[in-house]
Structure 1
């Protein structure tokens, strides 16, 4: 699966377990154990075979690095949960910054439009049906 620009989709589950094991330097039984522990959730084929994505491989490498540094599985689980939380907070922060920027641009555009409009202090006259005249005053 590719994007319209030819770059592979990092979430496309395409690697069988033997290839994933070779690419990560882990034993296939280790990959199965990490799945049982809930650290990884590979895709499945219709027949039940595991398929790993590029993102899964990155996660497996990170797990291997952390356990290689002496961190236990519960520590790895907690670190990865915190990383997901940080990623979500960064994404939300980016959304809020974009929203703030749009609001600021809107205020600047309104201020520029008001500055370009001459201040008319005269009342606005509207002729209504029946020859009567209605006078409105603009709020100041």
Structure 2
């Protein structure tokens, strides 16, 4: 697969393949909802040459989580903040785990 191979993009979660209308349809929501979470800076869609918003699969996953929270009665701004904080917590836990691995290996080597 070469960089020019357009089919290679089908597996790319970050490729902005979906129009706003299609993204809203997939999520079962409205374009206004997508604009609202964009204004809240939860996701930033790429723009086509014509200025139209394009969303990636990764962004749709985030938007689906926001839709879930909003569907449970959480205001859009609060839902976006919750998702951002969840993401930051996941990242901090991942980094913490990475930092612990070398320490655990060096302890087991010194005990041997």
Kept in 1: contact 2:13–2:58 (CA 8 A): yes
CA distance, structure 2, for counterparts of residue 104 and residue 12 of structure 1: 43
**2:29 alignment partner in structure 1:** 26
In the alignment, structure 1 segments of 5+ residues that lack a partner are: 112-140
**2:43 alignment partner in structure 1:** 40
> Is 1:58–2:61 an aligned residue pair?
yes
Q: Deviations over 1:51-106 (max 9, x none)?
A: 11111111111111111111112321321121011111121122112222442365
CA distance, structure 1, for counterparts of residue 57 and residue 86 of structure 2: 18
RMSD: 2.3
Relative to its length, the structure with more helix (as a share) is: 2
In the alignment, structure 2 segments of 5+ residues that lack a partner are: 1-6
How many residue pairs align between the two structures?
Answer: 106
* Higher Rg: 1
Kept in 1: contact 2:43–2:59 (CA 8 A): yes
CA distance, structure 2, for counterparts of residue 103 and residue 49 of structure 1: 53
| TM-score normalised by the chain length of structure 1 | 0.64
| TM-score normalised by the chain length of structure 2 | 0.77
The partner residue of 2:70 within 67, 71, 74 is: 67
The partner residue of 1:16 within 12, 16, 19 is: 19
**1:117 alignment partner in structure 2:** none
